[in-house]
């Protein structure tokens, strides 16, 4: 399996869960040193390989796909997790924030999935389809409290692109689903949780921040036999924030 943005946050949680479950995991991130360090640490528990790449362009997606093909000729699970955020006021939100965030959060999902489609299709079958798991956000399901216009818009688009790709790839026996995380402690969320953690927890019906096992568990479920009949779904993992409020 391949996890983009796998060297930190949500991606690292998912990669860790799969490594500990016995999967052979490839992780990608823009910073080679960090990617190599995390892969080395995870390899103490199983098999994890570092494939650094910048997915902010179509060329970067092609480069990662080629690097993966140098190791494997098939792909069972692709986790499209790499992402970026940008916060700025309504009055000052810049054009560059749209270009950077949409390129990585949205366009990279299409480009990388398309590049790796032959590998995903190789071993897929009706009873055991290959899986694409896209990481969206509950900010794409409701209006966020913070001024993250390009981020929340991109995640809503990720959810719809998930449905579009699910229909497109169904005949190839590839499922495509999305996870919409709520608050988890990650590098992207760290400052927000440090500044507004109590307020955020107060908004979660289950009264806590998500744990790594919560994220790894839902990804493993989607990749397991139990999740083989799901496609085109968006699953919130948010302690009830999107469904109970």
Tracing tokens 């009873």 back to the chain, one arrives at 127
pLDDT attached to residue 190 = 67
Q: Of 76, 111, 72, 82, which Cα lies nearest the Cα of 7?
A: 82
The answer, yes or no, to whether residue 102 has pLDDT greater than 70, is yes
The length of the chain, given as a count of residues? 245
Beta strands in the chain (DSSP E): 2-4, 24-28, 47-50, 77-80, 130-135, 174-181, 234-237
The answer, yes or no, to whether residue 161 has pLDDT greater than 70, is yes
Q: Which residues of 18-56 are buried (b: 16+ CB within 10 A; e: fewer)?
A: bbeeebebbbbbbeeeebbebbeebeeeeebbbbbbbbb
Q: Identify which has the larger pLDDT, 195 or 232.
A: 232
- Residue 26 a catalytic site member: no
The answer, yes or no, to whether residue 186 has pLDDT greater than 90, is no
**For residue 28, what pLDDT band results from cuts at 50, 70 and 90?**
very high
**For residue 134, what pLDDT band results from cuts at 50, 70 and 90?**
very high
Provide the percentage of residues in the chain whose pLDDT is more than 90: 80
pLDDT attached to residue 245 = 60
Across 61-73, average pLDDT: 98
**For residue 93, what pLDDT band results from cuts at 50, 70 and 90?**
confident
Neighbours of 171 (CB within 10 A): 8
Q: Is the CB of residue 4 less than 8 Å from the CB of residue 28?
A: yes
Question: In whole angstroms, how far apart are CA 22 and each of 15, 125, 133?
Answer: 11, 21, 18
Average pLDDT score, the chain = 94
Q: Which of 149, 151, 221, 229 is catalytic?
A: 151
Q: pTM for the whole thing?
A: 0.94
**Domains of the chain by start residue, with CATH:** 2-237 (3.40.50.720)
Neighbours of 91 (CB within 10 A): 6
**Distance from C-alpha of 17 to C-alpha of 22, rounded to nearest angstrom:** 9
Across 187-191, average pLDDT: 68
């Amino acid at each position: 399996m391949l996890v983009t943005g796998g060297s930190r946050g949500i991606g690292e949680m998912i990669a860790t869960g799969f490594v500990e479950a016995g999967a052979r995991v490839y992780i990608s991130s823009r910073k080679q040193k960090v990617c190599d360090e995390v892969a080395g640490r995870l390899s103490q528990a199983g098999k994890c390989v570092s494939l650094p790449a910048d997915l902010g362009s179509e060329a970067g997606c092609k480069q990662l796909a080629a690097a993966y093909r140098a190791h494997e000729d098939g792909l069972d699970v692709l986790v499209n997790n790499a992402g970026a955020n940008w916060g700025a006021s309504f009055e000052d939100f810049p054009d560059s924030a749209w270009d950077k965030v949409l390129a990585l959060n949205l366009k990279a999902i299409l480009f990388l999935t398309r590049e790796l489609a032959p590998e995903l299709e190789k071993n897929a079958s009706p009873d055991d389809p290959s899986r694409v798991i896209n990481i969206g956000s509950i900010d794409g399901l409701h209006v966020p409290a913070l001024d993250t216009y390009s981020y929340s818009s991109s995640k809503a688009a990720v959810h719809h692109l998930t449905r579009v790709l699910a229909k497109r790839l169904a005949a190839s026996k590839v499922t495509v689903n999305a996870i919409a995380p709520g608050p988890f402690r990650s590098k992207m969320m760290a400052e927000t949780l440090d500044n507004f953690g109590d307020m955020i927890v107060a908004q979660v019906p289950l009264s806590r921040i998500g744990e790594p096992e919560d994220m790894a568990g839902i990804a493993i479920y989607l990749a397991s036999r139990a999740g083989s009949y799901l496609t085109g779904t968006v699953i919130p993992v948010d302690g009830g924030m999107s469904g109970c409020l």
